[in-house]
Amino acid sequence: MDEKDRILLQELEENCRTPLSELAVLAEMSEEDVKERISRLEAAGAVRRYGAVVDWERAGDGKVTAVIELKVSPERDFGYGRIAARLARFPQVRSLRLMTGAYDLQLLVTGPSMHEIARFVSEQIAPMDRIRETATHIIMRTYKENGTTFAEREEAERLPYSF
């Protein structure tokens, strides 16, 4: 990967709908060369998928999102790979990461209600072999997601000033 690939990947990550003409200007290449590079990056797996950042609260969906942290006993010869593969199969699991710190794995989970998330954790996740401990954190509000700010800027309230 060279600097032109990095430029293209950064821009696609920021806004995957950026027109080829703009990408060509940013990378100082022809549109055809940009198209070929993007195809190569997709084939190599560097570009995994294209998508939108959705503000579900504003959309009125009512989904509940939670961060679930897991302490896991890794398997000899396999580490965390097998348990991560099992967890990734659940449709509720939106993201799954191996982390440093007090917990080993972090899941981002969505569900229709806090009750359903609690049930998912207690019935599906906690009983799994090698799961030693869970910690569930309900996301109350999202201010920024994947580089996109959700919160509207509020006008600063001016305080009265006098001597």
Residue 67 shares a structural domain with residue 135:
yes
In the predicted structure, residue 150 carries a pLDDT above the cut 90: no
Contact 65, 110 (CB under 8 A): yes
Asked if the structure places residue 103 within a domain, the reply is yes
Residues 77 and 122 in one domain: yes
Statement to judge: residues 114 and 64 lie in one domain? yes
Is 162 inside any structural domain?
A: no
Q: Whole-number mean pLDDT of the chain?
A: 91
Residue 62: predicted pLDDT: 80
In this structure, the answer to whether residues 73 and 119 fall within a common structural domain is yes
Instruction: Give the CATH number, domain containing residue 72.
Output: 3.30.70.920
Please report the pLDDT score of residue 39 as a whole number. Answer: 96
Residue 157 has what pLDDT?
60
Let me know whether 110 and 67 are in one domain: yes
Could you list the residue range(s) of the whole structural domain that residue 136 is in? 56-145
When pLDDT is averaged across residues 45-52 and rounded to a whole number, the result is 92
Q: Count the domains in the chain.
A: 2
Together in a domain, 60 and 30: no
Condensed to tens digits (0 to 9), the pLDDT of residues 89-108 reads: 999 999 999 999 999 999 99
Measure the CA–CA gap between 146 and 163, rounded to whole angstroms.
46
Tokens 């580089």: give the residue. Answer: 147
Rounded CA separation 138/64 (Å):
7
* 14 part of a folded domain: yes
pLDDT for 130 beyond 60: yes
- For the whole prediction, is pTM greater than 0.75? yes
Residues 63 and 39 in one domain: no
